[in-house]
Structure 1
Amino acid sequence: MCEEQTVSLVDVLEEDEELEEEASAVLAGSDSDHCSYPQGYVKRQALYACNTCTPKGGEAAGVCLACSYKCHEGHDLFELYTKRNFRCDCGNRKFTELQCKLYPDKDEVNSLNKYSHNFFGVYCTCSRPYPDPDDQVEDEMIQCVVCEDWLHGRHLGCVVPDCVELQEMICEFCMNKHPFLWTYSVHLAVPGAAAQVKEETGGNSNTDVPNKEEQVDDVIEPSSKRSREEVKPSCKLKELQGTGQNRVQSGAVFWPSAWRSKLCSCNTCQERLSEAGLSFLLDESDTVLAYEKKGKNNEQRQQGQDPLMSALDNLNRVQQLEIIHGYNDMKTELKDFLQRFAAEGKVVTPDDIRQFFEQQQSRKRRRVDAGRFYCT
């Protein structure tokens, strides 16, 4: 007979903490009780696609967090993580047999929404589901900040750098769609990946990668000397193009934190970004990291509103102290109880938990009985 696989309490607690942090980062930045439709095209929010209501072959549609709970409970949902500038579709023309319970008065379609194959549960250039039951290779999925598709690390065409969770990625397709991004990548992108891509492709003499000693702060300045009298705002992009430096235009590109602040924001470049639908690149608060930070802050504020403390406000001082002491005692005893299992690497069973609370009840009865002895 096969030995049953078990995990220690330490493993369970660590995994639970990671899941809670991830959920807080993604979900706490969105409203779980009210449909986001009245807010219009929300800057960034958690989204879902319903395979039950809008299966593949039909029109793509996305629903907000609250509608995923209230209107699509029990449905087959695809979690899309977050997407920008999206308005909730729940109950509109795309849902022939469902009406939104939270905000039924909606336009037939949201014409400014952008959709991809993600809304039908497939991702990456390989158009596979995630998790993929037929793929045994362990590989992380990374989201492109432009098209917002998720791609396997091995399908990016470059080496994935360390600390990738603190960086932004633009896939090769989006880089080629907006060629001026290649100019920025020479000077602003995470170093290393470009050189490795060049080695893999053989490279050409006219696509040299900048030397390591060339720093970002140095190259974004004009290459030619300018007189002190010249104070007109210049175009950073033109100055970078004037350096004559290029890189292998192949593979995805990774960008370090705060790289957006170094993009040119002159009138010409703002118009270029607007026409390309990339104005969000000048907004550092548009990043997923900024959204996640907002979600964690919201979660911390909600945790600060302890329901126990709210209930205590309606009790007198003596009752408040008794409940607080009892609560703290139980929390300390439960922590000590679980730490013994963690220290020994043992699994906590339902019987162990049941026994703990039976002991708590027994101690409570003994304290009550002892109190009666001293009553007059």
Structure 2
Amino acid sequence: MCEEQTVSLVDVLEEDLELEEEASAVLAGSDSDHCSYPQGYVKRQALYACSTCTPKGGEAAGVCLACSYKCHEGHDLFELYTKRNFRCDCGNRKFTELQCKLSPDKDEVNSLNKYSHNFFGVYCTCSRPYPDPDDQVEDEMIQCVVCEDWLHGRHLGCVVPDCVELQEMICESCMNKNPFLWTYAAHLAVPGAPVQENEERGGESSTNLSNREGLVDDVIEPSCKRSREEAEPTCRLKELQEIGQKRIQSGAVFWPSGWRAKLCSCNTCQERLCEAGLSFLLDESDTVLAYEKKGKNNEQKQEGHDPLMSALDNLNRVQQLEIIHGYNDMKTELKDFLQRFATEGKVVTSDDIRQFFEQQQSRKRQRVDATGHFY
């Protein structure tokens, strides 16, 4: 007889905390009370697609966090994580039977919004939903920083590196649409795809890659000892192309932290990025990591105005101590109560929790009867 797999209470609490932190990272940077439409095309925000209002076969549309709460409560929503430069569609022409409750005066359409199959609940090159009830393979989904589609790790055409959550990824399709990115990839990207031999130098082994990267940095950054003519801004992309280092142009590409700052920002390259709709790559604050950091900072500021602590400040010293002691007693008793279930391997039910608080109330009444005071 096989032993039944069990999950401890600590495992459940840790998983809940992890999910809460992930949700907070996505949502804390967006306003949950006010429609984002008046802000125009928001640099980055949490978005949702409503399959109840805009079903597959119709026009794609996205709604902001606040509208997902206030205008689409009870609807079937697809969570789109975050997307850049998007203006809330809620209640515009695409929603024939719904008017936005938060910002009803909207243009018929937001012409600069970009849509994908994500808005109909499918992702990756395989165009499958997530989670996929028919997919038994455990696989993480990774977002391309250019097209912002989500792709399965096994469909990226490359080995997914360690600490992928700290890196940005550009899918193979977006790399091929913008071939100049392959030049940057040969010098700046996380090692993963094989690097071809250097055409001009007769080739170097992969063990010399780090030395070569140091040489690239020397080429890119002008020395302060050079003459004024030599120190004039040059095109970094052109310099990298002249080095001749190549990378096999297949599979997705992962980029390390700070890689955007190494892209060329000369006038020619800025025009090239603008024409390709990639100007955001020169903006490090465009990253999801920067968005999440902003959200965490906002959350910490809000935590500084805890309503419970504000209420305690308005009580006298005796009342404060009574509340604190009561809270600590309940916390200790609840911990001991749950510990018994963890020790015996039993499941905590709603009836068990209800019984615990009924016992708490009974003890409070006994203390009131005995002392004539309630706290």
**Count of aligned positions:** 365
Deviation at 1:66, TM superposition (A): 0.6
2:226 counterpart residue number:
228
Q: Which runs of 5+ in 1 are unaligned?
A: none
Q: CA deviation at 1:194?
A: 0.9
Change beyond 3 A, Cα 1:300–1:354? same
Aligned partner of 1:159 in structure 2 is 159
Distance 1:289 1:209, change over 3 A: farther
> What are the residue-to-residue correspondences of 1:77-88 with 2, within 5 Å?
77-88=77-88
Rounded Cα–Cα distance in structure 2 between residues aligned with 1:213 and 1:332: 59
Specify the alignment match of 1:211 in structure 2.
206
Task: Give the match for residue 263 of structure 1.
Answer: 263
Residue 73 of structure 2 corresponds to which residue in structure 1? Answer: 73
DSSP-derived class of the 1:212 partner: helix
- The C-alpha deviation readout for 1:286-317, integer Å capped at 9, x for no partner, is 11111122222323333333222222244333
| CA pair 75-368 structure 1, distance change in 2 beyond 3 A | same
Secondary structure of the equivalent of 2:47? strand
Q: CA deviation at 1:328?
A: 2.8
Letter in 2 for 1:70: K
Greater CA drift, 50-59 or 347-356: 347-356
Contact residue 220 and residue 236 of structure 1 kept, 8 A: no
Shift of 1:244: 0.8
Q: Distance in 2 between matches of 1:317 and 1:51?
A: 54
Q: Distance in 1 between matches of 2:285 and 2:161?
A: 23
Amino acid at match of 1:221: D
Please report the RMSD computed on the Cα atoms of aligned residues, expressed in angstroms: 2.6
Most deviating of 46-55 and 357-366: 357-366
Pairing 1:1-150 to 2, within 5 Å after superposition: 7-150=7-150
Match of 2:193 in 1: 194
The secondary structure found in structure 1 opposite 2:185 is helix
- Deviation string 1:57-105 (CA, Å, 9 cap, x unpaired) is 1111100011011111111111101000000000001111110000000
Query: How many Å separate the matches in 2 of 1:356 and 1:279?
Result: 58
Q: How many angstroms apart in 2 are the aligned matches of 1:312 and 1:248?
A: 64
CA distance in 1, matches of 2:246, 2:3: 58
Unaligned runs of 5+ in 2: none
In structure 2, relative to structure 1, the CA distance for the partners of 1:334 and 1:223 (3 Å cut) is closer
* TM-score scaled by length of structure 2: 0.90
Higher-RCO chain (CA-CA 8 Å, sequence separation at least 6):
1
Given that residues 263 and 282 in structure 1 are in contact (C-alpha distance below 8 angstroms), is that contact kept between their aligned partners in structure 2? yes
Deviations 1:121-152 (A, max 9, x none): 11111111111122222111110000000111
Sequence identity, in percent?
Answer: 85
Tell me if the contact between 1:223 and 1:243 (Cα under 8 Å) persists in the aligned partners: no
CA contact (8 A) 1:8 1:347 kept: no
- More displaced stretch, 146-155 vs 301-310: 301-310
Matches within 5 A, 1:219-368: 219-222=216-219, 228-229=226-227, 230-342=230-342, 345-368=345-368
Q: Residues 7-48 of structure 1, C-alpha deviation per residue, up to 9 Å, x if partnerless? A: 331221121111101110011111111100011111110000
Moved more, 209-218 or 88-97: 209-218
Contact 2:48 2:65 (8 Å CA) reproduced = yes
Residues 183-237 of structure 1, C-alpha deviation per residue, up to 9 Å, x if partnerless? Answer: 000111001x112xx7xxxx79969787333333431332899882122112211
Q: Is the 8 A contact 2:26 2:81 kept in 1?
A: yes
Distance (Å, rounded) in 1 between the aligned partners of 2:129 and 2:74: 20
SS in 2 for 1:245: coil
Which has the higher mean CA deviation after the structures are superposed, 158-167 or 8-17? 8-17
Displacement of 1:110: 0.6
Q: Find the residue that maps to 1:222 and give its secondary structure.
A: helix
| Structure 1 residue 5: Cα displacement | 7.5
C-alpha distance 350-43 of structure 1, shift in aligned 2 (>3 A): same
Q: 1:330 is aligned with what amino acid?
A: M
What SS is found at the alignment partner of 2:218?
Answer: coil
- TM-score, length basis structure 1: 0.89
Aligned residues of 2:47 and 2:62 also touching (Cα < 8 A): yes
Q: Is the 8 A contact 1:221 1:236 kept in 2?
A: no
